[in-house]
Every structure is written in structure tokens, then in C-alpha cells.
Amino acid sequence: MRRAAWRVGLGLILLLLPESFAAAQSLDAGWESPPREARLRAYWWWLNGCVTPEAVTRDLEEMKSQGFGGALICDADGSSQDGNERAPHGPDFFSPEWRELFKHALREADRLGLELSLNIQSGWNLGGPVVSADDAAKKLVWSEVRVTGPAAFQGPLPQPAQRDGYYRDALLVAYPVRETPKATPEVRVTASSAQPSHPVDFLVDGNPESFWVSEGGEPGKGPTPQRPEWVEFAFTSPVTIDRLELLPRPTYGPYACRVLVSDDGRAFRTAADFTITNQRDEATISMAPVQGRVFRLLILGAYDRGELENPRNVQVRELRLAGPEGAWPRTPARRPIRNWAEKAGYRPLHFSAPDTTPLLEEDPPLAGEEDVAPDRVIDLTARLAKDGTLSWEVPQGTWEILRFGYTISDRA
């Protein structure tokens, strides 16, 4: 009985061997030459429509020769990033010329046995000639004007930014402003250089969203010990300073610095030398108390994308001098939300899987800091005419008028 069972088992094994061997051969063959559905797909970027029939054929034949099973067409803007040049402009997305290129790609893919798919939009911009301005993605824009009452205001309001001639009003409000008292003594802040869109005023405006940028846009044009940049605080009368508070633009701020002091603005002496290693957070540099009328921060080196080699310029968000008599510039009555542009989606966090730290950062409250109570905000929307003019009896005090509208967004 046992011998018979053994013979039956052996027979079954022998019957199964050819099938197992065939399966193994099929698996090996599948690895060596996978079916189309198991092959890789390429992200096929059509940047700024810069595509030709010849380039389509060449790319697809190259994909086929490298073992790809197909591609996903991603029509994208082709904007310059990280110093790269913008791709030349070709046919607009979904225009007749673009559709002919797409048909050519489908025919060539079919000839080569490749599978094609298409991103449902042009890159990230929700665009294309088939999308009207009314249906396109929008963003809020605004303008500001300050008025003093009691007085009658009659006239046009500043036009908020608009894109491609498209703008619609949404809301008009006014709120009372508490003026910040002038600092005593008064101070004048200047810099060795500045770019027009990032003046030195941004360095002392109390707004961490704005920042000063020195001249220079090419590697090696930034500050060096032989060619430093500087920021100068000139007071109307002598003050005593024992610390400096500096908030850099992350990965672009100062590295090696020197504090100089002068009694007349001509002869300077060194008060402190220091380096900054934290590229993101505010740095407080303490020094021995020193009295003078003019203080100069000399910047001898800077970071550029976190590196110290050949910086293009130096960028600082906020700078304050402080001592026993107070701090300059004076703290404003209220501060904006930190990193509000990123939190509101007005500034991209950069590429995929970005650092989201700016979305979590908050500024602690300051003594004496205040904001406007909601019941003190006046809705003036009904008083705004279609031509952008306002007629309003301004109450007592200083008022900020905010005109909100929307225009076409330049981002998805």
C-alpha cells in the first residue's frame, strides 16, 4: 500500500514538473522582456509648447529603445527656475497647432507600441485658450490709501494689481489707524547699495515679509572682506547700544559681520565682530555697551542658498539696534502675521514636498501690541462706484482704506 502511494505521488510530481518549468521560463522571459503594462512610463515634459513633430518622433523612438512602455505628456510653462533659461515659446496649449502635435504623438506611439496619457491641464496654471478669463483661477488683490478726518473724501481709489486687463471689485473697507510715535532721538537708515524692488526701507519696516537686498545678481558680486556691504544708522543725538537684532532672509543672510561706531560719521572704530550660523531665525548679538551717533553694520560675507562660496548679494528681512534707552526702529503698534504670504498661498513653498516650516511659525505677542476690533471696521462697498471712485464722510482720526478685488492668478 505504501509503495503504491509513493508511486502515485511520484507520478503527480512528474506530471507537474513540465508546467512548473514552463511557468519558470515564462517568468524569466517576463523579466527579460516585460509586457507593455508592466514597463516604466516617462514624464514627458512639453515645456512652453516648445515641441516639433521631429522632436516627438525622436523622443518616442528613444523611449522605445530604452524599454519604456509609454509616457505621460505634461504640458508646462517652462519658467526659469534656479537660474535656468526659459524654454522658447511654441504653440499655445490646446491650440489647433498644439492638437496637431498631439495627434502626431498618438500616431507615432501607436506605431511603436507605446501607451500615451495626458495631464488634464497645462502644467499647474489651469490655463489654455479654451479657458475664459471668468473661468480662470483667481487671486485676491488690494490697494491701500490713508486719509484723515473729519473731512469729505471724493475721488478715485488706487487701482489694485491686475493681469491681462482683468479685474473685478469685491470689497471696500476702512479701519482706524493708531499712529506710531516718532522715535527719540530720530534715526536715518541708509545702505551701501540696494536693489530697486528691495530698498533699505524694507529692512526697518517691522514687516518680516519684506527684505532688503544689496546690489549684485551674479556669483561673486556679493559682499567680501575686500568689498563689504553696509547698513548705517545715523542718530540725531548720541545713543548707547549693547545689542543688535538681525532677521536674515533664510539661506541668503549675512555670515561675517563687524559693528562700527562713530561720533561724527567720518572716523569709525570697531565695536564688535561676529558670525551668524543660524540661517533662518532671528539672531541677537550682544556686545559691550558703546555710545555713538552713527552705527554701521559692515557685512564681510554672506550665504547664497546656504553656501558661502561666491554669494550674489546679501538679503536681510529686519534689523534693529537696542540698548538701555530703547530699540530702533521702534516696535510698531501691531505686526503682520508671520509668513502670511505663504500661509495665504501668495508665495509658493518651492517644488514638490517643500519645507512647510513657514506655515507653522508664529510671532509671540509684544507688550503694547494691539489690533483693530472688528466692530471698528467700516464696510464701504456700497459707496464704491463702478469707475473706482469713493464718496465718504471720513470720521475723526486717521483711517486706512482697503480696496479688495480679484484678478487672474498666475499660479494654480
Confidence grade of residue 118 (pLDDT, cut at 50, 70, 90):
confident
Residue 13 clears pLDDT 60, i.e. is over it: no
Same-domain status, 176 and 225? no
Asked whether residue 105 falls in the same domain as residue 46, the answer is yes
Domain ranges, residue 55 = 35-118
State the average pLDDT over residues 41-56. Answer: 91
Q: Are residues 195 and 314 in the same domain?
A: yes
When mean pLDDT is compared across 200-214, 364-378, 389-403, the lowest value belongs to 364-378
Same domain, 89 and 145: no
Say whether both 308 and 244 belong to one domain.
Answer: yes
166 is a domain residue: yes
Contacts 24+ apart (CB under 8 A), 80-87: 86/48, 87/47, 87/48, 87/50
Mean pLDDT is lowest, of 16-20, 210-214, 307-311, for 16-20
What percent of the chain stands above pLDDT 90?
52
Query: What's CA 153's distance to the chain center, in Å?
Result: 37
Q: Which helix (H) or strand (E) element contains residue 116?
A: strand 115-118
Residues 313 and 198 in one domain: yes
Stretch 291-319: mean pLDDT, rounded?
94
pLDDT of residue 79: 65
Q: Domain containing 57 — which CATH number?
A: 3.30.750
266, 213: one domain: yes
pTM recorded for the entire structure: 0.52
Residues 109, 191 within the same domain: no
Shared domain for 108 and 170, answered yes or no, is no
Residue from 279, 300, 144, 331 nearest 230 by CA: 300
Average pLDDT, the chain: 85
- Residue 226 and residue 306 share a domain: yes
Confidence at residue 135, expressed as pLDDT on a 0 to 100 scale? 86
Half-sphere exposure of 10 (CA within 13 A, CB side): 6
Q: What is the pLDDT of residues 308-340, one digit of tens each?
A: 889 999 999 999 999 888 888 865 555 667 777
Kindly report, residue by residue over 224-279, the tens digit of the pLDDT. Answer: 999 999 999 999 999 999 999 999 998 999 999 999 999 999 999 999 999 998 88
Looking at the 3D structure of the chain, how many domains does it have? 3
* Residues 197 and 293 sit within 8 Å (Cβ to Cβ): no
pLDDT mean over 38-56: 91
Question: Does residue 357 sit within a domain?
Answer: no
Provide the pLDDT confidence category of residue 116 given band limits of 50, 70 and 90: very high
What pLDDT score does 412 carry? 47
Q: What is the DSSP code (8-state) at residue 227?
A: S
- What's the pLDDT score for residue 18? 56
